[in-house]
């Protein structure tokens, strides 16, 4: 900023260092894979870091974000990238000092926290600031500065204090945003509404090349975007491409996000250490290197804490977020610890693999974490926020049952243990929110779908994709079959969009927002249906629109 009024005047350029761990190294512009360690050429003659405080070009082309809100803290994120699609965003080898501010008003008249952070080359000049000492259940605004360059302003919000009883929580959830298949009109709509928090449930990017002309977007892009992502440079470039979208930036700036990942952040349908099998990384060792690259780039581009920083090919994704005694979110990871898909993946009838009592989609440790949490009964609404459908989804008309092996249908014992465990522990209102299917599906949850008399334990709201699958339609043949063959499924839709939710002590209200067309920049967004679940009753009620 220029002129006499400089709200950043007086901030100290203190460096913020984090512990680094080394895993593997490979060649390429990144000089290392998801490997954290010093790079050469970063020190002055006396051994101290040489830092830049001025940049000739605007560095905030990828926008700003906040995330992982707690009652007294929130993470602020940005990544310096004057030329976003070049390695390291077009920046040289030296660290860059970034100033940040948090205020109680969007004009920054009441600044309550401020400081500085070092953007480093080995983290691709990303910045993660864990701002402490904030007040519970409050709105804040934040921004960054490097020299004369000031970032866009973002809005964030902390969670309620432990033991508080908020009267309402308003949040949104989304997933699956293939860049080349559609515009992010749904995010423009999401940003226009005020949410307390936003969940992204996976497939933030796709590893596939975007194709000549970037599909419906018709853009001229660098050659590396035409390739499938394998190296760290390629994953970083793909995140940068996605984050250049103005509607996605607006959605990030509108509220704090809580993010997990699914398969395409690495590659399609991977399972633990097992690659899909028909990819550029056919062996397990090569896949672990690729997984480490993907995890590293994910962390560099997400508003998450240092505790989510990956160590080689491992990252801690599952964690909890409490909104007083109203809602608790169990953010899950159904990729990193799962057994390989049964029956060679795809869709199949229930089989010895999918029915094997020893197989798991969560891993034993995460399953115990879930069940122990259920026993605490700390909130009126207990939410599983994760990647893909728990409910059985028979996808073939007629007597034969054919279900997808990549969803919880391929891990029946996991479904029985988790849902049955929730019932045994007296969970009052169990709700699952998920994505992955590129369609909206709302279902009643049962531990045993083979038993027609099995009780309904909870409710599941699967949201459609932001853009993956292009325009879609109100219902395709697959959706009509799902409705006809699965009596526990109460709603299906095959358009693009996202879901807004309002939770009160009395009810859960889901607003399915759909876009008429995503293959053009200015589609129309509307409410397709409003569905409610009442406290203590997992059945689904239509309160607006059509079922």
What is the bridge-based pairing of β-strands 440-445 and 197-200?
unpaired
pLDDT given for residue 283 in this prediction: 83
pLDDT given for residue 99 in this prediction: 98
Domain ranges, ordered by start, for the chain: 51-158, 162-545
pLDDT given for residue 18 in this prediction: 30
> What's the alpha-carbon Rg for the chain, to the nearest Å?
23
Quick: pLDDT tens for 77-122. 999 999 999 999 999 999 999 999 999 999 999 999 999 999 999 9
Cβ-contact 423, 375 below 8 angstroms: no
- Averaged pLDDT, groups of 10, the chain, 547 residues long: 38 30 34 34 38 91 98 98 96 96 98 97 97 98 97 98 96 98 98 98 97 93 92 97 98 98 97 82 86 98 97 98 98 98 96 97 98 97 98 96 98 98 97 98 96 94 98 96 97 98 98 98 97 97 84
Cβ-contact 332, 260 below 8 angstroms: yes
Tally the C-alpha atoms within 13 A of residue 481's C-alpha that lie toward its C-beta.
15
* Pairwise CA distance, residues 12 & 15, whole Å: 9
Judge if 51-158 and 162-545 fold alike in CATH terms.
Answer: no
* Pairwise CA distance, residues 78 & 303, whole Å: 8
pLDDT given for residue 284 in this prediction: 86
* Pairwise CA distance, residues 466 & 181, whole Å: 10
Candidates 3.40.50.11720, 3.40.50.300, 2.60.40.380, 3.40.50.10860; correct CATH number of 51-158? 2.60.40.380
Backbone angles phi, psi at 93, to 5 degrees: -80, -15
Quick: pLDDT tens for 293-313. 999 999 999 999 999 999 999
pTM: 0.92
Cβ-contact 434, 443 below 8 angstroms: no
Candidates 3.10.580.10, 3.60.21.70, 3.30.70.20, 3.40.50.920; correct CATH number of 162-545? 3.60.21.70
Q: How far is CA 121 from the centre of its chain?
A: 24
Quick: pLDDT tens for 6-60. 444 333 333 323 322 323 333 233 433 443 333 222 333 333 356 888 899 999 9
pLDDT given for residue 195 in this prediction: 98
pLDDT given for residue 113 in this prediction: 98
Beta bridge partners of 503: 169, 508
* Pairwise CA distance, residues 411 & 356, whole Å: 8
> CA-CA distances (angstroms) from residue 284 to 281, 287, 338, 475?
8, 5, 15, 39
Cβ-contact 34, 313 below 8 angstroms: yes
pLDDT given for residue 54 in this prediction: 87
Angle (CA) 138 140 144, round 5°:
155
* Pairwise CA distance, residues 174 & 436, whole Å: 10
Quick: pLDDT tens for 531-544. 999 999 999 999 98
């Amino acid at each position: 900023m220029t002129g006499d009024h400089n709200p950043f005047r007086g901030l100290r350029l203190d460096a913020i260092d984090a512990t680094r761990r080394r895993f593997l190294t490979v060649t390429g512009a990144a000089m290392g894979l998801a490997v954290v360690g010093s790079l050469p050429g970063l020190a002055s003659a006396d051994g101290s870091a040489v830092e830049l405080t001025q940049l000739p070009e605007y560095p905030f082309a990828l926008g700003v974000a906040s995330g992982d809100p707690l009652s007294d803290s929130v993470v602020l994120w940005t990544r310096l990238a004057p030329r976003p699609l070049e390695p390291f965003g077009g920046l040289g080898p030296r660290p860059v000092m970034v100033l940040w501010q948090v205020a109680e008003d969007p004009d920054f008249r009441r600044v309550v926290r401020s400081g500085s952070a070092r953007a480093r080359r080995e983290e691709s000049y990303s910045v993660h600031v864990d701002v402490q000492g904030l007040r519970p259940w409050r709105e804040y605004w934040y921004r960054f500065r490097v020299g004369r360059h000031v970032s866009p302003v973002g809005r964030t919000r902390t969670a309620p204090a432990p033991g508080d009883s908020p009267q309402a929580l308003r949040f949104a959830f989304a997933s699956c945003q293939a860049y080349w298949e559609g515009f992010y009109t749904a995010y423009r709509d999401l940003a226009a509404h005020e949410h307390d928090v936003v969940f992204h449930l996976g497939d933030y990017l796709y590893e596939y090349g975007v194709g000549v002309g970037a599909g419906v977007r018709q853009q001229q892009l660098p050659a590396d975007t035409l390739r499938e992502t394998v190296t760290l440079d390629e994953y970083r470039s793909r995140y940068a491409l996605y984050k250049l979208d103005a509607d996605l930036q607006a959605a990030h700036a509108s509220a704090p996000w809580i993010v997990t990942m699914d398969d395409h952040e690495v590659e399609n349908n991977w399972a633990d250490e097992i690659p899909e099998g028909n990819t550029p990384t056919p062996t397990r060792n090569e896949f672990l290197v690729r997984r480490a690259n993907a995890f590293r780039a994910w962390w560099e581009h997400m508003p998450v804490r240092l505790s989510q920083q990956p160590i080689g090919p491992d990252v801690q994704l599952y964690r909890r977020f409490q909104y007083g005694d109203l809602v608790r979110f169990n953010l899950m990871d159904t990729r990193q610890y799962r057994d390989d898909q049964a029956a060679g993946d795809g869709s199949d009838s229930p089989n010895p693999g999918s029915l094997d009592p020893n197989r798991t989609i969560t891993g034993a440790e995460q399953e115990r974490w879930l069940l122990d949490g259920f026993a605490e009964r700390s909130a009126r609404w207990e939410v599983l926020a994760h990647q893909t459908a728990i409910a059985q989804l028979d996808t073939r008309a007629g007597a034969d049952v054919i279900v997808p092996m990549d969803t919880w249908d391929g891990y029946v014992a996991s479904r029985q243990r988790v849902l049955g465990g929730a019932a045994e522990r007296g969970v009052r209102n169990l709700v699952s929110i998920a994505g992955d299917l590129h369609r909206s599906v709302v279902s009643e949850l049962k531990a045993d779908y083979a038993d027609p008399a099995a009780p309904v334990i909870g409710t599941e709201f699967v949201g459609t994709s932001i853009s993956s699958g292009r325009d879609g339609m109100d219902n395709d043949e697959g959706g009509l079959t799902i409705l006809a063959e699965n009596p526990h499924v109460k709603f299906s839709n095959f358009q693009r969009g996202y879901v807004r939710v309002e939770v009160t002590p009395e009810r859960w209200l889901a607003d399915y927002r759909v876009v008429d067309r995503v293959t053009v920049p200015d589609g129309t967004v509307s409410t397709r249906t409003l569905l409610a679940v009442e406290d203590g009753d997992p059945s689904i009620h239509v309160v607006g629109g059509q079922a």
